């Protein structure tokens, strides 16, 4: 038997109490709904603001890239003129210039050439974000061996070797031409900064990391560098060795870092002066979907 059946007032009391409660609940619910709606609106507002910031950032980054590309292209023109006039001076004023004058003009031409190389490297760097290729699953063993074939022959011609120890061949979602360019740049450094009189021994290895990524190591037996300068070598135009002995603009590793970061990866190195160098590239297997 129910309690209401024993107590004739019970049902009435329960009914009015429930009505009050319902009203209270309704009020509470309305307050909650309003609060939730306000919160949603605030969230939508900050989302829209965030999207705008991201778009502004993208545009200003794009502007900077375009500026870099145009500037590095346009600056080539006056340099070409300087070379032309230097040549004219040498042919038309041969007598007046004399050997010293000739030498100055040659030095000027050398400086102009270096400047042209810097500008070329700068424009190549800014094109990295423009000239992209679709990220697609690629067999890294193939990508790497294709990219380093030229350096391998050069190493062998010097009595050395370039070995690939990429087992099993990992398949990674990458912009294959850019990743190939990165490995080529790393082994080219290994070859360039070799020890005099020692055949260059270069090795590229791969291993799966504990968190499911892939680590590639590019190791050489060259002159190495002091690790306290590690941060510097990935910055534009930073070089640790005398440019008279080793040519280059100091842009290779900057380009490598940009390529790796564009793939959501990381690059670092270990070395000590005189003891070779090892560069470590960690790449995820798959690329995260592009954000809208
Ligand atoms: N394998 C290596 N062994 C020793 N030093 C290295 C090695 N790789 C890079 N470095 C040092 O880091 C500097 C920066 O390297 P990076 O590749 O950016 O420039 P670069 O080779 O001098 O010129 P570029 O690559 O533009 O032709 C080099 O100048 C060199 O001092
Ligand atoms: Mg280099």
CATH number at residue 264: 3.30.565.10
What is the distance in A from the centroid of ligand 1 to the CA of 81? 30
Same structural domain, 161 and 257: yes
CA torsion through residues 231, 251, 274, 164, sign: positive
- Which ligand is closest to the CA of 275, given by its number? 1
What is the distance in A from the centroid of ligand 1 to the CA of 118? 14
Rounded mean pLDDT, 268-288: 94
Same structural domain, 142 and 279: yes
Same structural domain, 212 and 119: no
Determine which helix (DSSP H) or strand (DSSP E) holds 136, and give its type and residue range.
strand 136-139
Q: Please state, for a pLDDT cut of 90, what percent of the chain lies above it.
A: 64
Q: What is the pLDDT of residues 77-89, one digit of tens each?
A: 999 999 999 999 9
Report whether residue 125 contacts ligand 1, using a CB cutoff of 6 Å. Answer: no
Same structural domain, 184 and 255: yes
Q: Is 239 a residue whose pLDDT tops 60?
A: yes
Report whether residue 276 contacts ligand 1, using a CB cutoff of 6 Å. Answer: no
Rounded mean pLDDT, 57-73: 84
CA distance 204 to 184: 11
Residue 1 is predicted with a pLDDT of: 40
| Coil vs helix vs strand at 221 | coil
Q: What is the pLDDT of residues 9-31, one digit of tens each?
A: 444 455 567 888 888 889 999 99
Q: Is 56 a residue whose pLDDT tops 70?
A: yes
Residue 38 is predicted with a pLDDT of: 94
Same structural domain, 187 and 225: yes
Same structural domain, 168 and 240: yes
Cis, bond preceding 168 (omega within 30 deg of 0): yes
Same structural domain, 122 and 145: no
Same structural domain, 271 and 202: yes
Rounded mean pLDDT, 231-255: 91
Same structural domain, 108 and 82: yes
Domain that holds residue 180: 136-283
Q: What is the pLDDT of residues 104-151, one digit of tens each?
A: 999 999 999 889 988 888 888 888 877 778 889 999 999 999 999 999
Q: Is 185 a residue whose pLDDT tops 80?
A: yes
Q: Tally the domains of the chain.
A: 3
CA nearest neighbour of 162 among 170, 151, 175: 151
Domain boundary among 90, 106, 127: 127
Report whether residue 173 contacts ligand 1, using a CB cutoff of 6 Å. Answer: no
Residue 131 is predicted with a pLDDT of: 74
pLDDT band at residue 291 using 50, 70 and 90 as cut-offs: very low
């Amino acid at each position: 038997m129910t309690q209401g059946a024993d107590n004739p007032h019970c049902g009435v009391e329960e009914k009015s109490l429930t009505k009050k409660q319902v009203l209270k609940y309704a009020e509470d619910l309305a307050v909650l709904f309003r609060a939730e709606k306000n919160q949603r609106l605030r969230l939508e507002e900050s989302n829209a603001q965030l999207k705008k910031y991201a778009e502004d950032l993208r545009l200003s980054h794009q502007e900077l890239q375009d500026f870099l590309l145009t500037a590095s292209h346009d600056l080539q023109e006056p340099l070409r003129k300087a070379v032309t006039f230097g040549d004219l001076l040498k042919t038309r004023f041969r007598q007046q210039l004399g050997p010293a004058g000739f030498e100055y003009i040659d030095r000027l031409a050398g400086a102009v050439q270096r400047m042209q190389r810097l500008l070329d490297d700068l424009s190549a760097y800014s094109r990295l974000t423009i000239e992209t290729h679709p990220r697609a699953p690629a067999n890294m063993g193939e990508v790497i061996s294709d990219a380093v074939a030229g350096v391998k022959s050069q190493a062998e011609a010097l009595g050395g070797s370039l070995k690939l120890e990429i087992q099993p061949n990992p398949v990674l979602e990458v912009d294959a031409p850019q990743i190939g360019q990165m490995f080529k740049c790393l082994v080219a450094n290994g070859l360039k900064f070799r020890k005099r009189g020692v055949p260059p021994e270069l090795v590229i290895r791969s291993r799966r990391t504990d968190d499911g990524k892939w680590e590639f190591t590019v190791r050489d037996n060259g002159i190495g560098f002091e690790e306290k300068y590690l941060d510097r070598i990935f910055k534009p135009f930073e070089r640790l060795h005398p440019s008279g002995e080793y040519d280059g603009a100091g842009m290779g590793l900057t380009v490598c870092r940009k390529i790796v970061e564009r793939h959501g990866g990381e690059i670092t190195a270990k070395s000590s002066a005189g003891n070779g160098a090892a560069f470590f590239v960690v790449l995820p297997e798959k690329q995260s979907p592009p954000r809208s």
